[in-house]
A and B are shown apart, each in its own frame.
Chain A
Amino acid sequence: GQNIDQPTEMTATEGAIVQINCTYQTSGFNGLFWYQQHAGEAPTFLSYNVLDGLEEKGRFSSFLSRSKGYSYLLLKELQMKDSASYLCAVRDSNYQLIWGAGTKLIIKP
């Protein structure tokens, strides 16, 4: 079966750095997405990785290792508004998106 694993919940401090991990086992691989979802709101696109390595976008970076079936989302200089759920999704060989259950990130002052 296909599976995406990510921690259920994480807590971090304002101004700090946090890394949210995602491991996957899918039928084929056509890229990995990270989305942010604030409570009661729509998921919004953060990043897309298809090649190994680190992609940086301002305070957010996303890393991919295809050989390890592993990705992480790195958030720097955390702000209170970063409190949200972070969803990892992998596009499989049939171009379907397989989703993780999301990681709820709680930022404390």
Chain B
Amino acid sequence: ETGVTQTPRHLVMGMTNKKSLKCEQHLGHNAMYWYKQSAKKPLELMFVYSLEERVENNSVPSRFSPECPNSSHLFLHLHTLQPEDSALYLCASSQEFGTPSYEQYFGPGTRLTVT
């Protein structure tokens, strides 16, 4: 148990649907992250929140919209996705953002399939 939970674990959605991914961390961390993991590719950082403020937005299409209502919860709102968005979406947290040695704790991910 890593202390980071994600729901749903699997999601199939059409290109016109709207859905949301949820992440919750029970570790008292101040930073939270969304990553995209595609087969045989490096993890792609999508968004970073520190103390509920967005600090990174790595040129992610606007069809992905993050929300961080408090330091324990992170959402990724999805709308009008494309088939190439099918991937594993991982949430992570760390004690702080910007301290080099702090490792990230990952959730199990949401396997997203866009049809």
Is the CB–CB distance between B4 and A31 below 8 Å?
no
Q: Is B49 an interface residue (CB 8 A)?
A: no
Chain A residues near B99 (CB-CB < 8 A):
95
Is the CB–CB distance between B100 and A8 below 8 Å?
no
Is the CB–CB distance between A45 and B104 below 8 Å?
yes
Is the CB–CB distance between B100 and A31 below 8 Å?
yes
> What's the dominant secondary structure at chain B's contact region?
loop
Closest to A98 in B: B42
Chain B residues near A21 (CB-CB < 8 A):
none
Is the CB–CB distance between B2 and A8 below 8 Å?
no
B residues lining the A interface (CB < 8 Å)? 2, 4, 40-43, 45, 56, 90, 97-101, 103-109
A residues lining the B interface (CB < 8 Å)? 4, 8, 30-31, 33, 35, 40-45, 48, 50, 87, 89, 91, 95-102
Q: Can you give 27 contacting A-B residue pairs, CB < 8 Å? A: A8-B40, A31-B101, A33-B103, A35-B106, A41-B108, A42-B2, A42-B4, A42-B106, A42-B107, A43-B43, A44-B2, A44-B106, A45-B103, A45-B104, A45-B105, A48-B103, A50-B100, A87-B43, A89-B43, A91-B100, A96-B56, A97-B45, A97-B104, A98-B42, A100-B42, A101-B42, A102-B40
